[in-house]
Structure 1
Amino acid sequence: MFRTALALILALAGPASATQEYILPTLFDVSGVAPDDVLNIRAEPNARAAIIGTLAPDATRIEVVEERRGWARVNTGEGTGWVSARYLSYRVDVWQPGQLPPAFRCLGTEPFWDARVDGGDLVLRSPENQGGDRRAVQAVLDTGVFRDPSRVVVAQDMTLFSHPQICSDGMSDRLFGLSAMLVLHGEQPSMLSGCCTIQP
């Protein structure tokens, strides 16, 4: 009787009850690399590709924006490259319900802008306003899906939407894992587009 009931519960639960480990983008720590070695960043996702950078054996909070066949895409300098995913361990403290990772910021071009949450305010900066336009954050919304990076930041006269999607800033060879739209309310509403990062 107990086995029958347990089988029924498991059958009803199905795959939907499985805990998903992570959704990209998220942060990882380097692990399993010898203290006197480095983790190579390669131009393509294969072990024979050119080395374009390295990560220290104790590097932490590395943003991964894409995975492909056991390789993880990371940004390095003004470009992007690939590291072996077997030497990365994901962090479980990145995407918390109703919160943003501490280094979360969004940026765009044409016109140039950047936005981040600072001290309870959503701060929008532009070349003309380096000090930034500060608006009180009213809410940070999420989808309710475990570790889903999608977020909406609702602030006075501004709403920032970000969702997982490979995104280019149009100025460098870097790629980002979050696409952004910033809606400016008021007498003449407007919308800015760009990308977001959580890399410290």
Structure 2
Amino acid sequence: MSSVFAGALYRAIHLPAVRPGMLALCAAAMLAVSASPGAAETAAPAPTPDMPDVSRRQMVINVAKDDVLNVRAQPDASAEIITTLPPYSRNVIIAGTRHESGKEIWWQVVTPAGTGWVNARYLAPDEPSDTSFPVRCTGTEPFWNITTANGEAQFSTPDSQSEWTAGQMEWARGSMNAFIIRLKKGDAPGQITAFRTGNACSDGMSDTAFPFHGVLTGPDGSVYSGCCQRGG
């Protein structure tokens, strides 16, 4: 991603004065990068505890054989325990969201019991890597939410709900930094464009950091900006 394009996209998302049309333009440019046969291949930023790689599953480490890893409702050692993971558990799915509390970093994980939080020092990269997975994107001002899974997209605001058809996740050529999901309602097209930079995405209301910045263009032509994460 060029510095010019990245700067324009940042301004489109973070500056209120910028019209939604600029967001749509940036989203279209991102699609062009993914579809262009001559697009330059760029390596994704190296995953770190600050920016976990959501495509990579994790395994439980540093837990004694007679103990378990607690998955908590909030990123806090005193929060309610919603489930546990045995030592050496594999194929643990992370949402990519993180929370820093003092010197501790917490990652959100996706379990059969729902999403919860674990201390990142108890997880390490595992195999396999996933190139397609459910996605959840949210935003504020106005509040909105969209989830995609099994070819369907569920979109909601405080005032309305919509169901759209969702295509497969398509990654930008030669990179795991950005992807699109094409949406459709009848003959009307829409799109989720999500991209990762060196800075995590913030919802502006909490200390939680999200792995992807997101732009949603609905089949009705509405445009929203927010943050995206892995949903399952």
Q: Normalization by structure 2: what TM-score?
A: 0.53
Q: Which amino acid aligns with 1:167?
A: C
Query: SS at 1:116's partner residue?
Result: strand
- Is structure 2 residue 174 aligned with structure 1 residue 142? no
Q: Tell which structure's C-alpha radius of gyration is larger.
A: 1
Query: 2:183–2:219: 8 Å Cα contact kept in structure 1?
Result: no
SS at match of 1:92: strand
State the distance in 2 between where 1:199 and 1:135 align.
17
Is the 1:75–1:174 contact (alpha carbons within 8 Å) kept by the matching residues of 2?
no
1:153 to 178, 181, 201: 181
Percent identity, aligned pairs only? 23
Counterparts of 1:57 and 1:173, CA distance in 2: 28
**Over aligned residue pairs, what C-alpha RMSD do you find?**
4.0
Query: How does 1:83-162 map onto structure 2 within 5 Å?
Result: 83-84=120-121, 87-94=123-130, 96=131, 99=132, 101-102=133-134, 104-129=135-160, 132-145=161-174, 148=176, 150-156=178-184, 157-162=189-194
The structural deviation recorded for 1:128 is 1.4
**Deviation of the 1:35 alpha carbon:** 2.6
The change in CA–CA distance for 1:81 and 1:175 in structure 2 (over 3 A counts) is: farther
Q: Residue type matched to 2:107 in 1?
A: V
Q: CA deviation at 1:73?
A: 5.1
**Kindly tell me: are residues 158 and 174 of structure 1, through their superposed partners in 2, closer, same or farther at Cα, counting changes over 3 Å?**
same
> For this pair of structures, how many residues does the alignment match?
161
Contact preservation (8 Å) 1:105, 1:115: yes
Aligned-partner residue type, residue 74 of structure 1: W
Q: Secondary structure at the match of 2:129?
A: coil
Specify the code of the residue in structure 2 equivalent to 1:89: P
Q: For the residues of structure 1 that align with 2:120 and 2:190, how far apart are their CA atoms?
A: 37
CA contact (8 A) 2:190 2:217 kept: yes
Q: Distance in 2 between matches of 1:80 and 1:139?
A: 28
Structure number having the greater helix percentage: 2
**In 2: Cα distance, 1:74 partner to 1:138 partner:** 28
Contact 2:213 2:228 in 1 (8 A): yes
Q: Distance in 2 between matches of 1:35 and 1:24?
A: 26
Residues 142 and 80 of structure 1: CA distance in aligned 2, closer, same or farther (over 3 Å):
same
How many angstroms does 1:140 deviate by?
3.1
